[in-house]
Structure formats: structure tokens, C-alpha cells
Amino acid sequence: MPAPLLRVDGLEVALASTGATIIEEVSLSLEPGETLGVVGESGSGKSVLALTVMGLLPRALARTRGNIQLGGDELTTLSPDAWRDRRGRDMAMIFQEPMTALNPVMRVGHQVEEVLMNRRGMSAGDARRRATALFERVEIPEPARRLAAFPHELSGGMRQRVMITIALAAEPRLLIADEPTTALDVTIQAQILDLLRDLQKERGLALLLITHDLGVIAEITDRVLVLYAGRVAEVAPARLIFDAPAHPYTRALLASRPALTGPRDRLVSIEGAVPSVGAMPPGCRFAPRCSFAIGPCMTAPPALIACAERHAAACVRVGELG
Ligand SMILES: Nc1ncnc2c1ncn2[C@@H]1O[C@H](COP(=O)(O)OP(=O)(O)OP(=O)(O)O)[C@@H](O)[C@H]1O
Ligand SMILES: [Mg+2]
């Protein structure tokens, strides 16, 4: 097995004001060329996890424990400047709504060229040629004309292609995509996912793909991490998430899945709500909504228990659910 490119160990993130934890004991690893899906209901901490890895946590939040290693280097001990440098060079992130990440008053071509000049040391002429080639690669029609456009002159799908171009311009080894297609209509979603998958294969990228959509998980991820209320509920090869889900929460997610032919929007909700930050139950965070919960589930958060190779679930009843 290749050495992981990204390794997160025992990560905890808390509200800076009260110390209430948002993420607890989250560990994961991601190999070069691998796609790890992160799935969970709204508020489960998916974006906070991504921002923590990128070193982009807002001031209101703080990493209180845990380590993050990229290519064997510890990121958490880096100065903000050094972390920013790694972010520009080795890892990149694309967001759900590209409009918020693009500079609205700068032509999109210029935004790509800036990365190429700053990060790859290219001359203006080389950067222009490379930006044109990248636009062609991400299938932006009429690249020369599109390079001169401002973000608002492009469709949502085109803007997301521009974001992908900017993310890939520095040739990162790790790409984090946080709900990269949920703001787009279904046909465009499929095209952007295909593009991400092709680019990931072509470049041997490690891809951390955050999504609500189990259809997306099925289509392009190798492994899946299920987050519930800031803790890992289950981690498994993607196939096993569908064929042999071990955690009651994963099962509930699968059961609440919208029909594949219907609108692929937010997950249809599971009865009850994700507990709020600062008001987490003392035991398993899913216990109040879990039809399998028993006494011990109420007292202490369950540890991850291995159920098969590369498959583990944080449930005291693993193997008993039938
Ligand atoms: N800047 C912040 N200040 C205070 N609380 C925050 C902040 N950012 C996130 N949180 C809280 O952290 C928790 C996790 O949020 P996060 O955005 O990571 O969820 P998510 O899984 O990405 O949800 P969604 O699917 O809706 O994007 C939520 O309870 C949220 O309210
Ligand atoms: Mg989010």
C-alpha cells in the first residue's frame, strides 16, 4: 500500500469562545490517486474538516487537538505563512459556490494566470498559453474569449470549471472539493463530476470529495468516511458502504436516499435532528435517533471497531444488526 499523502490523526476542532467541540477524534488517511468521499447530514462538520486541513479555519473556530500531515510533513506546527505556501503549492480546494471564491472584478483568465506566475514562476506569456490550454482541458468552449470574461458573465457550470482550473493550476497533489456540484443543475453536475474524475486519474490526485449525495459517492469514490455530529461513524470502501453498511446511521442515510431518478438535492431527513454544538449527548451522538440504541450507547462515545479490512464503525452493536 502506498504511503498516505494526507494523514489526519485525532483531530478536534472547537468553538474558540466556549470550547464546545465541533469535530472530535477524526482520523483519516488518503493515498495518492485515491478518492475519499466524506458524507453526512448538514452540520456534521464536513466543511470544518476541510477548512482545518487547508489551514483556513475562521477565527471563531480553533483546532484544539490532533495532527495533520501532508506528504509526511506536519502542517499544524507550520507558521500561517508556511501553511499558506503549502496550500498554494500542494493542496487546493474548490467550493460549492464558485462565485464566492472568485474575484468578481478580475477577468477569470487573469485569476488563473496569477496562480501560474506566482506559484509556478511562469512569465506572463507562458501563463497565458498555459491558461488557454487548461481552459481547453476543462472543456471551456472558446477559451480565448472566456479568459477575458468576468465571473458574472459565465454560467454556474463554467464558473465551476474556472475554479477547477485555478485549483489545478499550481499542480497540487491534494484536491479538496466541498460540495462542488450541489449548486448546479443535474446535467451540469454530471459533467463536472466526470471532469473531476478524469482529472483526478490523469494527475494521480488525492481527492477528498465532500458531498450529501450518495449517488456521487457511488460514482466516483474509492472509500467513504461517514461523519455524524463531528465524529466518524463509519469508514469503508465505497462498495461496502452500500452493500454492508455497519453503522445504524449509515443505514439510515441509505434508507433516506432520494430515488436516483428524482432531484438530487439534500438528503431526505432522518427522523430527529443532528444535536447542536455545545449540546451533544454524552454517549454515542446518534443514540437519541437510533432504533438500535442500548444502555451503553448512552454513557460513552463508542470507539471505532474494525468489521473487515479497511472497514470500521463506531458502534457497540457492530455485527449484531443483522
Ligand atoms: N464560523 C463558525 N462559527 C460557529 N460555528 C460554526 C462555524 N462554522 C461552522 N460552525 C458549526 O460547526 C458545525 C459544522 O459545520 P459545517 O459547516 O462543517 O457542517 P457541514 O457538514 O459542512 O454542513 P453542510 O452540509 O450544511 O455544508 C455546525 O454546527 C456549524 O454551525
Ligand atoms: Mg459544508
**6-90+172-313 carries CATH number 3.90.1520.10:** no
**Quick one: average pLDDT of 148-171?**
94
Distance 149 CA to ligand 1 centre (A): 33
Q: CA–CA separation, 256 vs 259, rounded Å?
A: 9
- Rounded to the nearest integer, the mean pLDDT of the chain is 92
Give pLDDT tens digits for 17-64: 999 999 999 999 999 999 999 999 899 999 999 999 999 999 999 999
Contact between residue 199 and residue 169 where contact means Cβ atoms under 8 Å apart: no
The percentage of the chain sitting over the pLDDT mark of 90, rounded to a whole number, equals 80
Residue 207: pLDDT band with limits 50, 70, 90: very high
- Is-above-0.85 flag for pTM? yes
Give pLDDT tens digits for 67-97: 999 999 999 999 999 999 999 889 999 988 8
Give the pairing of strands 231-237 and 311-313: antiparallel
pLDDT of res. 260: 52
Distance 48 CA to ligand 1 centre (A): 6
Distance 151 CA to ligand 1 centre (A): 27
Give residues (CB < 6 A) around ligand 1.
15, 22, 40, 42-48, 58, 60-61, 212, 277
Tally Cβ neighbours within 10 Å of residue 30. 23
Q: CA–CA separation, 130 vs 169, rounded Å?
A: 9
pLDDT of res. 259: 55
Indicate where the chain has its CATH 3.40.50.300 domain(s): 6-90+172-313
pLDDT of res. 101: 86
Contact between residue 160 and residue 98 where contact means Cβ atoms under 8 Å apart: yes
Q: CA–CA separation, 179 vs 187, rounded Å?
A: 16
Give pLDDT tens digits for 270-287: 788 889 998 999 999 999
pLDDT of res. 184: 86
* DSSP 8-state secondary structure symbol assigned to residue 268: P
Tally Cβ neighbours within 10 Å of residue 61. 17
pLDDT of res. 1: 64
